[in-house]
Amino acid sequence: MRSLIDIKELSLKELDSLIDTALDIIENPQKYSEKCKGKKLATLFFEPSTRTRLSFEAAMYELGGNVLGFSEASSSSSAKGESVADTAKMISCYADIIAMRHPKEGAPLVASMNATIPVVNAGDGGHNHPTQTLADLLTIKRKKGRFNNLTIGLCGDLKFGRTVHSLIAAMSRYEGVKFVLISPEELRIPSYVKTDVLDKCGIEYVETKDLCGAMPELDILYMTRIQKERFFNEEDYLRLKDSYILDPQKLENAKKDLCIMHPLPRVNEISVKVDSDPRACYFEQALNGKYMRMALILMLLGIK
Ligand code: NCD
């Protein structure tokens, strides 16, 4: 029985195989429509979500399975003081696989150590978000056709943005990848990501505050929301929230085949004027998340 807590648990070969499955699902959806018949996915969301929870649910329905769960902590027994470990043991009696989002870093790991069914980390605090990375990887594959030799700009809240941490971990395993880490001073990438991932993999990276200066060399620009819910005080959030707003003018010096990504939800970081630019990939990225979650559910349930 296998869970997915951190993207690095998947080998490059397994990632390729998930991408191949997702591409086959896109081509032949009817082939998959009953693969999970009789199976149940439990979505345990202790934090707000639109895309992740609903794309997990849509994924399971499109595989012919069923879904149960809750979308806020206040409607679950955690409000009565139940531990994550106990919740995981209980849900193992009701479902075949769990997708869990939790504000505490490490909560899905604790769940996976106590559940008798696979647990998928659907975002744990400011730490990791491996299934968003699966959506990101399929988007990069479909847009760029490769993972090697890409210069990737990550812009916004690199400190608390869990999608950024997981994407760096995944992309650092490919050849010729370079990161440009664009953020305000206070929201720079955590030092553990630098030492445990970037330095360990010998990845080239620069840190800068200057989005426009970095623009011309980027193959991918990954914008992120300032993570309001992780701030200790409102004042800091208000000061930093509009640090970067991508608009058509800022894209003037960008490559013609730049791929503009965002895990969404967007607040202010990308002007809606950019949405009609053919380089904007963020809504497709959300759709790709559903296909990759379908592929992942099949893999973790051992369904061919
Ligand atoms: C992200 C998250 O929850 O970390 N959203 C998502 O799952 N697509 C990004 C965010 O909330 O900013």
CA 162 – CA 4 distance, rounded (Å): 15
The pLDDT tens digits of the residues spanning 198-225 come to 999 999 999 999 999 999 999 999 999 9
Whether the pLDDT of residue 119 is over 90: the answer is yes
Q: Is 43 a catalytic residue?
A: no
Output the CA 109–ligand 1 centroid distance in Å.
Answer: 19
Residues with CB under 6 A from ligand 1: 51-52, 123, 129, 132, 162-163, 225, 263-265
Whether the pLDDT of residue 75 is over 90: the answer is no
Q: In whole numbers, what is the pLDDT of the chain averaged over residues?
A: 97
pLDDT band at 43 (very low <50, low <70, confident <90, very high): very high
In the chain, which segments carry CATH 3.40.50.1370?
A: 7-128+289-300, 130-286
CA 94 – CA 114 distance, rounded (Å): 14
Measured by CA distance, the residue closest to atom 8 of ligand 1 is 263
Closest by CA to 257, choosing from 277, 238, 237, 228, is 277
Q: Is 101 a catalytic residue?
A: yes
Q: Determine the average pLDDT of the residues in 115-136.
A: 98
Q: What is the topology classification, in CATH, of domain 7-128+289-300? A: Rossmann fold (3.40.50)
> Whole-structure pTM over 0.85, yes or no?
yes
The bridge status of strand 151-155 relative to strand 220-223 is: parallel
Burial 108-141 (b: 16+ CB within 10 A, else e): bbbbbebbebbbbbbbbbbbbbbbbbbbbbbbbb
pLDDT band at 79 (very low <50, low <70, confident <90, very high): confident
Output the CA 167–ligand 1 centroid distance in Å.
Answer: 12
Q: Which two tokens stand for residue 267?
A: 């607040």
Helix (H) or strand (E) holding 225: none
Q: Is 51 a catalytic residue?
A: yes
Q: Which two tokens stand for residue 62?
A: 């499109």
- The amino acid occupying position 59 is A
The pLDDT tens digits of the residues spanning 245-270 come to 999 999 999 999 999 999 999 999 99
Q: What pLDDT, on a 0 to 100 scale, did the predictor assign at position 152?
A: 98
Strand order across the 66-70 sheet: 66-70, 40-45, 97-102, 119-124
Output the CA 103–ligand 1 centroid distance in Å.
Answer: 12
- The amino acid occupying position 107 is A
Q: What pLDDT, on a 0 to 100 scale, did the predictor assign at position 25?
A: 98
- As a CATH number, domain 130-286 is 3.40.50.1370
Q: Which two tokens stand for residue 122?
A: 């659907």
